[in-house]
Structures are given as structure tokens and as C-alpha cells.
């Protein structure tokens, strides 16, 4: 007989959600986390979209450490000297509380506590080495030579999936599977944040940036989120472009972003309080490991469940939902855990937004991580805007003529623009 | 089998503690709670004795209920039993009643051969408690230990003193305070941590220890804090001088009585 | 702000008994790209007089160098126990 019904590796959003659900279902659960307390090893923007947690923690928004609710959302292109943005402010966003800005250091600790309260055994400060197999079935986990057994294991270890790699259950990551995220947390007084970002104390600003100004083939996105009295500022950089470039330090991309005149102003007089870096799953379906096997399931970032289409960046909600579905799968098959019964996990994922989004937007990386999106389009938009808004006492031209000139001056043909634009709209 | 007690304290991680600029007190609320680092060095020496000759190690700590996490961590490293001494009556204790309370705990455990503790804690740095416990128990003590070994009823320890090392051999029972960084503490084990959580930490209060309210906590503390001051770090002068001028500069500083050369 | 200053903001619990990442200096000596130097966000890999230097103490455990090194020099594991970087915000 196994010591535990289920061992969950990783007390992040996926692991803790799974552990809560399993414990609520009466299972004997061990939740193992290497950070002490949970959250001290994780890095994320972070905005939590959606309300999936209410399935296991009713009224969770009341007790969760939420910094602010998104009331202003922006998507912006930064060229060297300009910013072209879509800015959306809405009282409805606030009322629906769709986007919750959180600090993972606090949030993960809170969620893991909920798992403990639900009855899971929470063990922190321990790094699991690998899964233990017997006759092709996962029978538990190994740490420093010791084996702890369970009927099933949920691997929710995050974007750097060492347990899966060590267990021979996925290949090492490559440049195309993940991007490199770098983040800084900067202290600013609450009232300064409110004024500077035009939000009230509960409202928050969340913005994604396309860093079109980066030279030498580098591709990177940026983000800025307002917490209560800090600001989260960061980049997500393409590793294969960084490799091809071969002469730029990853941390200098972060440096260039924070030195950009429009960003510099937003964080003026702020006191940097933390620097952080983490891998960000970007590869979509092509990078996914086997999501289940005989005795184990994979959830959250470890399963590469993230979504980014240039307009929104999401991952925590996918982690929570996949964790809950993994728990559900085990609860439904608790008397007979094997590869066949656990395959219903994939069906559940496909019926939810988790896998259906990844299928719908399969290949989106080729659009978001392209020179057209990140470099050419911002330049064209910049030329068009400048021609429209700069008054030189000259006869005005139709938008079409302005656009034609902008396309030409950026070395493109109309047909290229139309086909690239069409591809982009279709994928997004 | 040897009976060993290790005294530990849960403290805020010193690198995360901020000083409140108005109240001049330490703001511990944002800091992570950890086991005082020197106490882990003390535990490691206890575990090495256990590895060598076998021992039953009990970890004790006086603190609030949440300090049980610190004791569990020590059990996850290899200690056998954990006792948290917790009671509202103990609140506000300075080092004197803390020593008394810990000594009463050790007396109640009974037949203890070796008592370990960190040399001092990072949150108050008095170094009083270990020696206090030894005095209350009326046993020998070895302070500033950086190496500890056990052989046939004796503890052999090397003390790190200002003018050199001193190696002493003391018959048990004995109390040893261990210097920070005197060894590398072993890691926690998943197996041991699960067992520790299942076993749990015992909780002893003032009644279990047979102490009187007047002896412990704030009421039993002779220390009165009159005021707190933040000390400004003195300004340092940094100058780069050519290497061939160093002798001249030293001679100049000596002639101005700023530094002294030679002798004790 | 320089990268060294940014890294100094971080809190670590350094394991003096175990380096969780090691490199093979012989492989690094013949490396044509030294991409680790550019990829690592924590400046753990530096070139000094053409020779690769590595320190694990500043590592933030992101795993980038394990991907970056295509020559088999980097041997990557997680720190043991609760050692390594301790994020306050994350």
C-alpha cells in the first residue's frame, strides 16, 4: 500500500489548486515545495485572469492577497522614439474584477496555506529529485535516495521541469520551448502610482509592450503592472534571437527597456527592490511533454500551459484550471489509477479552455515572435502617426497615401503587408 | 544512549529585517522566519555525535505557536523529538527568565548529557542565554566552540578565543554554545520531514514546567529598555595612494597618534 | 543601475557544501560562442582574459544556461533543500 494517495510536486498555482481539490475529495495528499515558504522560488508578472479558484475556494478574492484589479489595460509598441498604444480603461473591467494583479511571493504562500487548511500535508524547503517507477508505473518520488510512495503523482514543478527531465519523461528544453523572463520590482508610494497611472487605490494598470526598438535581430516583449506600492517591470526575450545575436547580454535588454524614455518616466524616483529571472513557456503544443502516463499527470507551466497572443499574456489561470482538472481525473479514478484511466485528463483539458486555446492558437508564436510584428509593423505605424500628427504647413494626404509611403520607406511591398497582416489577424 | 538537547530560536531572516525609521525598532513583519543560523551549526554538531555513538536528540525552543515550524525543520535534519515552550506568561522575557525557563525544560526532560545552543541569535545578539541555562542547571559550559567531538563521556571542543584557539575536554553533563559557521549544516530530508510532521511538536507551558508567573516573561525580566537609537555608520574616507608612498603615510599617521605600531 | 547592483538586491541562502551547477573547463576552453555569458541573466558566467569563469552563488535558478550551452559543458541541478535564491516578490 502507498503512503499517500497523491503526491503533488510544486506548491504554485497548479499544485496548490490540485492539492486543495484532492484534499477536499478526502484524499491523503502530500504537497512538496522547494521554496520555504512557497512563492520564494517563483517569478511571474503577475496578473491572474478569471475566477477558476472559486471552484475550490469560494469567495477567494476576499481572503487572497490581491494588489489591485485591472482597470486600465494597454498594449503598446515601443520604437526608439515613440510609443503607439491601444489603451482600454473600463469601469466594467473593475466591476467584473476580471484581472487580479498579484505578487506571487504573497499569493503562493496564501494558496499553499489553503491546501494545508484543506488537509493536505505541506512540506516546504525540499527539492524532489525524480519520480520513482516500478514496472512502468510511477509509484512515488525520490529525494536524496529516499522513496516516498503514492498511488499517483501530479507534476506541477513549473517552467524548468527538472523532475520530468530527470525521470526521462521529457527532453531538455530548447530555445524554442521557452523564453527568458527578467523582472524588477520597484517601490513607489501608493499615491504616486495612483496619480502616475491614473488609477484609484483598488484599480490597476497592466500593460504589455512590443519592444520594437531593439536592434540586431533581438525580439522581446515587455510588461508593466502596478501593485499596491510597487511596480512590476519586466521583459520576455526570445532565446534563439539572443543566441543568433551573440553579443548582447540578456540583462542589457532589461536595462534598455527600463531606460526607454517612456518607461523611465513611469518608474521615476522608484527604488528597485528586487531583480528576478525565470523561464517562460512559449512553445505551445510543440513543446508539450506527455501530459499523463501510468501513475502521473503534468499540470501548469511544467505542461507548458501558457497563452500569449500579443494582446494578453496568461498562465496562472491555465495552471489553476489544469491543476483542478488533474485532481478531478484522479478523484474520478481513485480505485484504478493507470495510463488508460488517466487519459481522461486530456479529454478534460480539451473540453476546457486550456487545451482548446492552445489548439486554436497553435503556431501563434510564429506571429508574436516575428520581425513583422515586432519590428516592421511598429515602424510603419510610427511613420503613419508621425505623418498624420506632424503639421508642416504642407497639403495633407489621404491615409492610404501616407500608409503607402510608410510601407515603402520600410522596404516592404503592399502585398507583403496585406499577407502578413492577414496572417496575424487570423492567428490572433 | 546519550541524551542531547539542542536549544534553538526562530528569528526573522536578518537580511530581510528593516528598521522602522520612526519607532527605531526592528520591523520583523515582512521578514521570513528562519532557524537562527548558529543554532543550526549547534544542531549539526549534535547530529555528528549521534552519527558517531548514537544519541537521542531533543530540540527545544521558547516562542510563539508558529515557531513549531523551526522545530520541524530541525527534526527534518535529524533530531528525534521537538518541544515548543509556549505560554502567554513567557511573553516579553529578557535573557534571564529565558535561561530559567529553558533550564526548567531541560530539568524536566531529565538525564540530559549534552546541551547545545548557538553562540548568539541574530535578532538580539546577547549571548546570555546559553551560559544562563548552564548556571541555572549548575553544570559546566563550553562557550565559543568551533569544533566539537565526543568520546567516552567527555566532550572535546575547540574554543575560538581572541588570542588563539583553546581545546578543552569536559565530562558530561555539559552545555556548549557553538559559533556561527563552524560547520555546514546538513540538508533537510523529505522522509524525515514527513515523519516529523506526523510525530508533531510537543507543547509545554508554565504549568508543565512548574514555574511561577512572577519568575518568567516580562515580570521576571530585570532588563528595562529606556530608549532605542539608530546608530549612524561613521563616514569612511577612501583614498587610493601609490604603493611606494605607503610607508610615508603610515609614519605620518603614527606621528599624529592616529594609529599605533607594534607591541600589545 | 548595473547588473551587479541589481543582483545585490537579492537574498540567497548559499549552500557552501554543494554547487548545484558545474561546468567542464576543458569544454569551455574550446567553446566558439560562450553564449552562456550572454544568456545568463544573473551574470554568473564571465570571460576574464578569454577564460570562462563561473560562480553559482549568484544563480537565480532560471535554467537558461542549461539551454544556452549547446556543447555539453553545463551540468545543471536544482540547489538542495531550501538553499539558493529567496524571492520576496517573485
DSSP-derived secondary structure for A261-320: HHHHHHTTT-EEEEEEEEEEE--GGGG---SEETTEEE-GGGGT--EE-SS-EE-HHHHH
CB atoms within 10 A of CB A265: 9
CB atoms within 10 A of CB A97: 14
Alpha-helix residue ranges (DSSP H) falling in A134-189: 162-166
How many Å apart are CA C76 and CA C69, to the nearest integer? 11
Phi, psi (deg, nearest 5) at residue A169: -100, 0
Distance from CA of C11 to the nearest CA of B (A): 7
Residue B264 has pLDDT above 60, yes or no: no
User: Is B47 within 8 Å of chain A by CB?
Assistant: no
Cβ-Cβ contacts under 8 Å for A394 (sequence gap 6 or more): none
C-beta atoms of A146 and B76 within 8 A: no
Q: Where are the beta strands (DSSP E) in A10-157?
A: 29-33, 47-49, 66-78, 83-89, 99-102, 121-124, 130-134, 137-143, 146-155
ipTM > 0.85 (yes/no): yes
Pairing of strands C45-48, C51-54: antiparallel
How many Å apart are CA A126 and CA A146, to the nearest integer? 12
User: Is C47 within 8 Å of chain A by CB?
Assistant: no
Distance from CA of A31 to the nearest CA of C (A): 15
- pTM of this structure: 0.93
Neighbours of chain A (3+ CB pairs under 8 A): B, C
pLDDT attached to residue A263: 97
Give the residue-averaged pLDDT of B91-102.
Answer: 94
Nearest CA to B108 out of B205, B239, B2, B241 is that of: B205
Interface test with A, best of B190, B192, B195, B199 (most A CBs within 10 A): B190
Q: Residue with C-alpha cell 528525534?
A: B80
Q: Which fold has domain C29-77?
A: Alpha-Beta Plaits (3.30.70)
pLDDT attached to residue C87: 97
Q: Name the residue ranges covered by the structural domains of chain C.
A: 29-77
Query: In this complex, which of A36, A245, A251 lies closest to C3 when CB atoms are compared?
Result: A251
Distance from CA of C25 to the nearest CA of A (A): 20
pLDDT over 70, % of chain B: 99
Q: pLDDT band at B90, cuts 50/70/90?
A: very high
C-beta atoms of A126 and B32 within 8 A: no
Is-contact A41 A34, C-beta < 8 A? yes
Q: Least CA distance to B187: which residue of chain A? A: A126
pLDDT in tens, B29-49: 778 999 999 999 999 999 999
Cβ-Cβ contacts under 8 Å for B246 (sequence gap 6 or more): none
| B contacts of C88 (beta carbons < 8 Å) | 16, 30
C-beta atoms of A41 and C87 within 8 A: yes
pLDDT in tens, B166-212: 999 999 999 999 999 999 999 999 999 999 999 999 999 999 999 99
Q: pLDDT band at B263, cuts 50/70/90?
A: low
Burial class (CB in 10 A: 0-12, 13-18, 19+), A378: buried
Pairing of strands A47-49, A4-9: unpaired
DSSP A397: -
User: Is A261 within 8 Å of chain C by CB?
Assistant: no
Q: Collapsing DSSP states into helix, strand and coil, what is residue C79?
A: coil
How many Å apart are CA B110 and CA C17, to the nearest integer? 35
Q: Collapsing DSSP states into helix, strand and coil, what is residue A151?
A: strand
Low-confidence ranges of chain A (pLDDT < 50): none
C-beta atoms of B194 and A123 within 8 A: yes
Is-contact A24 A118, C-beta < 8 A? yes
- Taken in order A183, A189, A195, A199, the sign of the CA dihedral is positive
pLDDT in tens, A347-386: 999 999 999 999 998 888 888 888 888 888 899 999 889 8
Least confident of A294-303, A406-415, B99-108, B109-118: A406-415
Nearest CA to B41 out of B120, B96, B132, B109 is that of: B120
Nearest CA to B78 out of B58, B62, B106, B53 is that of: B58
Mean pLDDT of chain B: 93
Low-confidence ranges of chain C (pLDDT < 50): none
User: Is B188 within 8 Å of chain A by CB?
Assistant: yes
Distance from CA of A275 to the nearest CA of C (A): 6
Question: Residue B58's beta-bridge partner residues?
Answer: B5, B81
Long-range contacts of B248-255 (CB under 8 A, 24+ apart): none
Neighbours of chain C (3+ CB pairs under 8 A): A, B
Amino acid at each position: 500500500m502507498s503512503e499517500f494517495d497523491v503526491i503533488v510536486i510544486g506548491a504554485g498555482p497548479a499544485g496548490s489548486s490540485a492539492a486543495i481539490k484532492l484534499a477536499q475529495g478526502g484524499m491523503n495528499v502530500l504537497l512538496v515545495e522547494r521554496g520555504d515558504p512557497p512563492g520564494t522560488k517563483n517569478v511571474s508578472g503577475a496578473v491572474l485572469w478569471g475566477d477558476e479558484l472559486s471552484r475550490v475556494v469560494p469567495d477567494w478574492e476576499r481572503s487572497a492577497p490581491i494588489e489591485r484589479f485591472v482597470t486600465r489595460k494597454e498594449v503598446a509598441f515601443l520604437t526608439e522614439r515613440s510609443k503607439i498604444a491601444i489603451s482600454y480603461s473600463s469601469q466594467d473591467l473593475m466591476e467584473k474584477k476580471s484581472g487580479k494583479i498579484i505578487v506571487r511571493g504573497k499569493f503562493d504562500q496564501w494558496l499553499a496555506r489553503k491546501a494545508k487548511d484543506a488537509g493536505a500535508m505541506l512540506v516546504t524547503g525540499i527539492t524532489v529529485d525524480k519520480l520513482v517507477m516500478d514496472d512502468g508505473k510511477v509509484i512515488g518520488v525520490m529525494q536524496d535516495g529516499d522513496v516516498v510512495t503514492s498511488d499517483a503523482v501530479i507534476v506541477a514543478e513549473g517552467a524548468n521541469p527538472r523532475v520530468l527531465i530527470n525521470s526521462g519523461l521529457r527532453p531538455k528544453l530548447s530555445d524554442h520551448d521557452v523564453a527568458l523572463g527578467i523582472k524588477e520590482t520597484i517601490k513607489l508610494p501608493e499615491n504616486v502610482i495612483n496619480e502616475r497611472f491614473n488609477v484609484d487605490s483598488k484599480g490597476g494598470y497592466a500593460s504589455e509592450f512590443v519592444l520594437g526598438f531593439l536592434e540586431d535581430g533581438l525580439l522581446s516583449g515587455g510588461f508593466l503592472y502596478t501593485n499596491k506600492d510597487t511596480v512590476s517591470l519586466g521583459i520576455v526575450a526570445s532565446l534563439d534571437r539572443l543566441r543568433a545575436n551573440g553579443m548582447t547580454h540578456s540583462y542589457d535588454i532589461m536595462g534598455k527597456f527600463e531606460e526607454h524614455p517612456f518607461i523611465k518616466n513611469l518608474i521615476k524616483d522608484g527604488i528597485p527592490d528586487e531583480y528576478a529571472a525565470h523561464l517562460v513557456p512559449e512553445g505551445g503544443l510543440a513543446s508539450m511533454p506527455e501530459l499523463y502516463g501510468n501513475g502521473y499527470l503534468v499540470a501548469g507551466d511544467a505542461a507548458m500551459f501558457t497563452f500569449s497572443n500579443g494582446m494578453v499574456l496568461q498562465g496562472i489561470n491555465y495552471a489553476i484550471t489544469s491543476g483542478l482538472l488533474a485532481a478531478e481525473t484522479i478523484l474520478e479514478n481513485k480505485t484504478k489509477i493507470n495510463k488508460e484511466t488517466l487519459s481522461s485528463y486530456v479529454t478534460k483539458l480539451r473540453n476546457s479552455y486550456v487545451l482548446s486555446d492552445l489548439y486554436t492558437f497553435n503556431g501563434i508564436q510564429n506571429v508574436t515572435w516575428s520581425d513583422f510584428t515586432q519590428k516592421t509593423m511598429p515602424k510603419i505605424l510610427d511613420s503613419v502617426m508621425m505623418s498624420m500628427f506632424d503639421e508642416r504647413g504642407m497639403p495633407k494626404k489621404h491615409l492610404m497615401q501616407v500608409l503607402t509611403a510608410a510601407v515603402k520607406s520600410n522596404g516592404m511591398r503592399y502585398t507583403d503587408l496585406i499577407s502578413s497582416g492577414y496572417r496575424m489577424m487570423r492567428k490572433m | 544512549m546519550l541524551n542531547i538537547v539542542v536549544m534553538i530560536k526562530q528569528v526573522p531572516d536578518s537580511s530581510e529585517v528593516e528598521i522602522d525609521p520612526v519607532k527605531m525598532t526592528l520591523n520583523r513583519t515582512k521578514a521570513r522566519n528562519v532557524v537562527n543560523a548558529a543554532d543550526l551549526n549547534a544542531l549539526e554538531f549534535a547530529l555528528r555525535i549521534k552519527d558517531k555513538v548514537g544519541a537521542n536528540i531533543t530540540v527545544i525552543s521558547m516562542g510563539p505557536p508558529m515557531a513549531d515550524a523551526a522545530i520541524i525543520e530541525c527534526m527534518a535534519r535529524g533530531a528525534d523529538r521537538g518541544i515548543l515552550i509556549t505560554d502567554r506568561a513567557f511573553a516579553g522575557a529578557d535573557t534571564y527568565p529565558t535561561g530559567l525557563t529553558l533550564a526548567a525544560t531541560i530539568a524536566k526532560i531529565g538525564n540530559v548529557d549534552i546541551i547545545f545552543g548557538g553562540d548568539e541569535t541574530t535578532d538580539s545578539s546577547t549571548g546570555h542565554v546559553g551560559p544562563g541555562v548552564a548556571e541555572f542547571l549548575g553544570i559546566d559550559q563550553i562557550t565559543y566552540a568551533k569544533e566539537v567531538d565526543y568520546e567516552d563521556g567527555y566532550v572535546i571542543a575547540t574554543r575560538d578565543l581572541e588570542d588563539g584557539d583553546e581545546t578543552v575536554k569536559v565530562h558530561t553533563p555539559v552545555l556548549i554554545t557553538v559559533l556561527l559557521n563552524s560547520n555546514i549544516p546538513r540538508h533537510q530530508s523529505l522522509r524525515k520531514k514527513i515523519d516529523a510532521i506526523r510525530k508533531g511538536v510537543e507543547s509545554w507551558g508554565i504549568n508543565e514546567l512548574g514555574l511561577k508567573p512572577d519568575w518568567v516573561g516580562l515580570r521576571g525580566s530585570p532588563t528595562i529598555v529606556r530608549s532605542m537609537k539608530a546608530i549612524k555608520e561613521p563616514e569612511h574616507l577612501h583614498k587610493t595612494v601609490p604603493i611606494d608612498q605607503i610607508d610615508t603615510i603610515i609614519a605620518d599617521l603614527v606621528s599624529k597618534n592616529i594609529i599605533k605600531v607594534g607591541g600589545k | 543601475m548595473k547588473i551587479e547592483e541589481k543582483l545585490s538586491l537579492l537574498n540567497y541562502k548559499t549552500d557552501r557544501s554543494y554547487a548545484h551547477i558545474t561546468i567542464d573547463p576543458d569544454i569551455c576552453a574550446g567553446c566558439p560562442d560562450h553564449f552562456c555569458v550572454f544568456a545568463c541573466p544573473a551574470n554568473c558566467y564571465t570571460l576574464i582574459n578569454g577564460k570562462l569563469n563561473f560562480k553559482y552563488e549568484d544563480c537565480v535558478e532560471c535554467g537558461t544556461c542549461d539551454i544556452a550551452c549547446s556543447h555539453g559543458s553545463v551540468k545543471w541541478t536544482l540547489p538542495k533543500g531550501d538553499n539558493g535564491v529567496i524571492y520576496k516578490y517573485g
